Chains A and B, each alone.
Chain A
Amino acid sequence: MKTGMKRIFAILLLSVCGSSALIAAENTPVDSGATAWMLTSTALVLLMVPGLAMFYGGLVRSKNVLGTIMHSFAAMGIISVLWMVAGYSMSFGTNVLGGLFGWNKDYFLLKGIDTNILESGVPEYVFTMFQGKFAIITPALIAGAFAERISFKAYCFFIALWSLFVYNPLCHWVWASDGFLFNLGAKGAIDFAGGTVVHISAGVSGLVAAIYLGSRRGYPYQVIRPNNLVITMLGAGLLWVGWFGFNAGSSISSGLSTAQALTATQIAAASAALTWIVIEGFHQGKATALGFASGILAGLVAVTPAAGVVQPYGALLIGIFASVLCYLAIQVKNRLGYDDSLDAFGIHGVGGMAGALLLTFFIRPSWMAEAAGASPTGSWTIWNQLGVQALAVGVAVAYAAIMTLVLLYGLNKIMKIKSEEADEMAGLDRSYHGERGYGMVNPS
């Protein structure tokens, strides 16, 4: 215990006094165009979090609306702080513990990057904050899987632990320059804006958590209807707008690749939304607003890993396939009877996997030529890349599932994660926040 404390103290002292290493890029001039777009993107990605709050908030019953919105807002507080303290360092530092995650003492508390300019001409603060927004929205996405039945306190601890032990390592593997998935195959596993890191990890973790916690009272026999689809639609709209920052910002530049990502994003969202209501038209006879919103999300999720490498026709097809697969996934969920309340897995898990694998077939030729050039054998086929993509997806699925189960099991020993029955009946708003979302609205 004593030596442990000493060691922690020594590490703290080292990191406080450590001379900040000279960064080669310190004298790089700021590219004001790229920086301006990255600042905008950072704000756009943050806008997705209240967008998600509205999307989820409208889908639950009126007694849980504030509690559900607070799941997203709490993430903005908790993860921002964690990101500043250790998250950025764990994600984008250099390999430690055999590459399990990264660490860089200059990134600890963000105290050594005050004057850093990245090679792309963007101040490192902007990059840090941009990436931090991704770290915020990912655990907030999981909340959809166990909506309406989780204790607020346990949720806060869960997302903090999840962010540290699931998000940061995955982010490091996929996006850090020395991450092992970043360097897989000829030109790395393709995850442009977070198909594996954000959507597959959140979706799979959501599925595990939904099954581990069990279903809501009365599910599936009691009809549980959305309290306000109007705010759900507004939330879906904000998500679509914010996604331009999410995808087009992930080029960390303001140029051609930004334009390519932006175009792919718009087209996939639109084609998926249309596909969803066409399927519904045939299957149920009516095109629902919630279906359109679900389609938007399915398309955006699927194009997230792909936006940097696919051309518009590829985005169009990815959107169509994403809606078909996510729609099927939700039908399967209804058959199996597990309670993924707001389809975090059905949309983000399935859509993310679909995008990460399907993108292989639509990669623009110039990328494949570069990959062939980088490959030691001088050739690189889509089947080689599909193998790399499948491995990255497999790693994300397995790691997220196992770690989520471990974290839930451990946390449940300390505090009860699932709401007490009386609290669930009274609603999260009253039980955990002492407030009500609406004035006099009939119970739903």
Chain B
Amino acid sequence: MKLITAIIREVQLDKVREALIETGINRITVSLVSGNGRQRIEEMYRGLTIVPDLIPKIRIEIAVNDESVEKAVQTILKSAKTNGPEGSSGDGKIFIIPLEDCIRIRTGERGPSAI
């Protein structure tokens, strides 16, 4: 079991979510986060061009069984990219970490079947 955390652009949320659901991954957690990365966006504020310190991003967390990891990663890669195949800085990152256990609260069942 793995925990996939993807940091993506806010505007790509609908696309990524719809693509994930299409491939059969519909148990996801979404939150709005902000952070610093390589991306520098310029925004207009009262006629001035400013570069905000912390850029809002979307964090998607997906717990998957090992055989679904690659499918999820490929789906996110495809749907989160902007500006054609080469992408652009600020498209985000995907982190994968091993998941020690997974417990369904309702039944108490553990392990891969609880995912």
Interface residues of A (CB under 8 A from B): 217-218, 422, 425-427, 430, 434, 436, 440-443
Partner of A217 from B11, B13, B14, B58 at Cβ < 8 Å: B14
* CB neighbors of A among B24-76 (8 A): 30-32, 34, 43-44, 56, 58
Docked CA distance A422–B83 (Å): 12
Query: With A217-B14, A425-B15 in contact, do A441 and B43 touch (Cβ < 8 Å)?
Result: no
* Between-chain CB contacts (< 8 Å), 10 pairs: A217-B14, A218-B14, A425-B11, A425-B14, A426-B11, A427-B11, A434-B44, A442-B30, A443-B13, A443-B32
* Candidates B10, B18, B43; contact of A443 at CB < 8 Å: B10
CB distance from A166 to the nearest CB of B (A): 34
B residues bordering A, Cβ < 8 Å? 10-11, 13-15, 18, 30-32, 34, 43-44, 56, 58
Given the interface contacts A434-B43, A434-B44, does A440 sit within 8 Å of B56 by beta carbon?
A: yes
Of A422, A430, A441, A443, the residue contacting B58 (CB under 8 A) is A443
Q: Which residues of A contact B44 (CB under 8 A)?
A: 434
Q: How far is the CB of A373 from chain B (nearest CB, A)?
A: 63
**Cβ-defined contact, A441 with B11, below 8 A:** no
| Distance to closest chain A CB from B72 (angstroms) | 20
Identify which of B13, B18, B30, B32 contacts A441 (C-beta below 8 A).
B32
Overall SS of chain A's interface:
loop
How far in angstroms is the closest Cβ of chain A from B45? Answer: 9
| Least CB distance, A220 to chain B, in whole angstroms | 15
Nearest chain A residue, comparing its CB with the CB of B15: A425
CA distance A422 to B11 in the complex (A): 8
A441 to chain B, nearest CB (A): 7
Nearest B-chain residue to A426, judged by Cβ:
B11
CB of A66, distance to nearest CB on chain B (Å): 14
A436 to B15, CA, bound (A): 20
When distances are taken between beta carbons in the complex, the residues of chain B under 8 Å from A434 are 43-44
Taken together as a complex, chains A and B put the C-alpha atoms of A434 and B34 apart, in Å, by: 18
Tell me the nearest residue of chain A to B56, going by C-beta. Answer: A440
A440 and B15 contacting across the interface, CB-CB below 8 Å:
no
Known contacts A430-B11, A434-B43; A440 and B34 CB within 8 A of each other:
yes
Q: How close is A423's CB to chain B, nearest CB, in angstroms?
A: 10
CB pair B14 A440 closer than 8 Å: no
Q: Are B11 and A442 neighbours in the complex by a CB distance under 8 Å?
A: no
Chain A residues with Cβ under 8 A from B30's Cβ?
442-443
Q: Point out the residues of chain A lying under 8 angstroms from B34, CB to CB.
A: 440
A441 CA to B58 CA in the complex, in Å?
11
Residues in A whose Cβ lies below 8 Å from that of B56: 436, 440
B15 close to A442 (CB less than 8 A): no
Once bound together, how far apart are the Cα atoms of A426 and B15, in whole Å? 10
Tell me whether B32 and A440 are in contact (CB under 8 A).
Answer: yes
- Chain A neighbourhood of B14, CB < 8 A: 217-218, 425
Complex Cα–Cα for A208 and B20 (A): 35
- Most chain B CB inside 10 Å of its own CB: which residue of A217, A425, A434: A425
Contacts of B18 in A (CB 8 A): 218
CB nearest neighbor in B for A62? B32
Provide the residues of chain A in CB contact with B13, threshold 8 Å: 443
- Counting from the closest, the 7 A-B pairs by CB-CB distance are A426-B11, A425-B14, A442-B32, A440-B32, A434-B44, A442-B31, A443-B13
User: Which residues of the partner chain B approach A217 to less than 8 Å between Cβ atoms?
Assistant: 14
How long is the Cα–Cα vector from A218 to B14 in the complex, in angstroms?
A: 10
Q: How far is the CA of A425 from the CA of B15 in the complex (A)?
A: 8
A436: chain B residues within 8 A (beta carbon): 56
Besides A425-B15, A443-B10, 17 more A-B contacts (Cβ < 8 Å) are: A217-B14, A218-B14, A422-B11, A425-B11, A426-B10, A430-B10, A434-B44, A436-B56, A440-B32, A440-B56, A441-B32, A442-B30, A442-B31, A442-B32, A443-B30, A443-B32, A443-B58
